[in-house]
Structure 1
Amino acid sequence: MGRRKSFEDWSLDTVILIALLLIVLVTLYPFYYILIITFNAGTDTTNGGMYLWPRDFTLENYIYFIEDPKWIQALGMSLLRTVVGTGLGVLFTAMVAYGLAKRDLLFRKGYFFVIIVAMNFSGGLIAYYVVLKSLGLINSFGVYVIPGMLNLFFLLIAISFFSELPEELAESARIDGASEFRIFSRIVMPVSMPLIATMCLFIGSGHWNAWLDSAYFVQDERLRTLTYRMMQVINQSMVASAGEAAASTMSRSKVTPFSVQATAMVVSIIPILGVYPFLQKHFVSGMMLGSVKG
């Protein structure tokens, strides 16, 4: 039997519990506040004084969001970008890392030198724009996914992970006549799920939350992402100049730009919350990748 807790132990546990509850409250309340704003009339929200539940319950914010083709198109573009960009980024990064993990690879040190230089030095926005334009990626869907196909941070982690895999797995497959791509796809990838899950979560979140490339390198309104539309709403001057047509519609309803922005925030969080539980088990293991071995 364990020893009975003393009064000091109970006091310390109580203080810790209260502190943790306060941290949870401070962390979760902003999300809850945004949620209740989406179910409250936007014109009523501007009056303030609402903290725990909707004061003037309505679904008009979500109805306006669904009926506005720009928001739905932006949501679809963000989903397409995230799925395609994450798939290509994880596949290409893992393939390059698998090759660089081979210790007998020619010019291996030279490749690592290029990677380290690229991680620490940048050509700047203008040079980056010139490169994208020369590749014909400006104002195209490719500008979202092609530049991010090689993630240098996860490249180094993947190299370290693949280097620790038993070489006997690949050798036995080569004896049976398997090609390197078959070894990579049928043997290496299945045993690398913690790495793959971690890469999917971080690379996918990066694509889902990105908006600068949509602002700088895209002019086609059909290619705008959800986060870019949200930034438009945040910038009131842009809303005033680019949303005059929507303003007349809003004036006849209970919807305001801020309530639509809050609705877009909630909608944008749902996919991440839906994917994370399926990756959590592998994600916890993947967070230990690249750590120093004792």
Structure 2
Amino acid sequence: MTLRRKKSLEDWSLDTFILLALLVIVLITLYPFYYILVITFNAGTDTTNGGMYFWPRDFTLANYSYFLNDSKWIKALGMSLLRTLVGTALGVLFTSLVAYGLAKKDLIFRNAYFLIILFAMNFSGGLIAYYVVLRSIGLINTFGVYVIPGMLNLFFLLIAISFFRDIPEELGESARIDGASEVRIFSRIMLPVSMPLLATMCLFIGSGHWNAWLDSAYFVQNESLRTLTYRMMQVINQTSMPSGDAAASAVARTHVTPFSIQATAMVVSIVPILGVYPFLQKHFVSGMMLGSVKG
């Protein structure tokens, strides 16, 4: 039986200081998110008066109603979801496939491939050269410009190579003896044991697609292909709501403002990430250690 040491006054003082410091850090970290949430439930015209900090002063659902009834926002939300799902699936699949091949020690020209990867990670042709390449292969103003350039993630490629290299070769050899092809070995053996890696790749690649807006601004002119983050940037750069009699009457009736709609879009854009993260958390924590443990 172990005896618990009685805390002295110094121990209590130190514990109290640490708890207070942690509480202050938590408040500083979480309050901006809470404030944005409060803004979404407050009339936009009332928010501009200031003096609101902890709860809505003029409670309303008009911001969400305006957001959900605006076809531009709904189409942008759907495009972001589609881009994230397709882009993440293709990115994880092709990055894993290439990494599985480069992890083979007997691969021909393996060192040359690594030199090309390292060169591409450190040097870029610039935006103009990138635009010319995209135009030459017909990706400008298409959905493919969102997902095809990101099908190979070089950062996770190196991590995946290290991961596959540490998987015992006996697993693949026994399957080959039984007549399994490389595709079957990859899909039935390598991928199931690589869940921490795949979950980490899904979270980071998916977040990258979900938050991206530059490609929508520079390489897309079709309004139906605009993403949610691009629409948010549009609102940030606007000084007023869209012009027109219908839009003006809607603003006067609902008391929304560009800032309140922007805050609503922020909250809506955060919800999918918060919904996916709990399911990937267990594998994500293990996957974050791949770069430091495996090398």
TM-score for the superposition, normalised by structure 2: 0.96
Q: Show the 5 A alignment for 1:70-81.
A: 70-81=72-83
1:150 aligns with 2:149: no
The residue identity in structure 2 corresponding to 1:283 is: F
Q: Which whole-Å CA distance do the structure 2 matches of 1:171 and 1:71 have between them? A: 52
Aligned residues: 291
1:43-76 CA-to-partner distances (Å, cap 9, x unmatched) read 1001000001000000000000010000000000
Q: SS at 1:218's partner residue? A: coil
The residue identity in structure 1 corresponding to 2:5 is: R
Q: Which whole-Å CA distance do the structure 1 matches of 2:136 and 2:202 have between them? A: 29
Q: Show the 5 A alignment for 1:1-294.
A: 1-236=3-238, 243-245=242-244, 246-292=247-293
1:74-113 CA-to-partner distances (Å, cap 9, x unmatched) read 0000000000000000000000000000011000000000
Moved over 4 A (4+): none
Q: Which whole-Å CA distance do the structure 2 matches of 1:262 and 1:60 have between them? A: 13
1:215-263 CA-to-partner distances (Å, cap 9, x unmatched) read 00000000000000000000025x56xx223345313321111111110
**Does the 8 Å CA contact 2:203/2:277 hold for their aligned counterparts?**
yes
The residue identity in structure 2 corresponding to 1:154 is: F
The residue identity in structure 1 corresponding to 2:4 is: G
Q: Which whole-Å CA distance do the structure 1 matches of 2:67 and 2:227 have between them? A: 14
**Does the 8 Å CA contact 2:41/2:56 hold for their aligned counterparts?**
yes
The residue identity in structure 2 corresponding to 1:229 is: R
Q: SS at 2:106's partner residue? A: coil
TM-score for the superposition, normalised by structure 1: 0.97
Q: Which whole-Å CA distance do the structure 2 matches of 1:40 and 1:7 have between them? A: 46
What runs of 5+ residues in structure 2 fail to find an aligned partner?
none
The residue identity in structure 1 corresponding to 2:282 is: K
Q: Which whole-Å CA distance do the structure 2 matches of 1:5 and 1:280 have between them? A: 36
Q: SS at 2:291's partner residue? A: coil
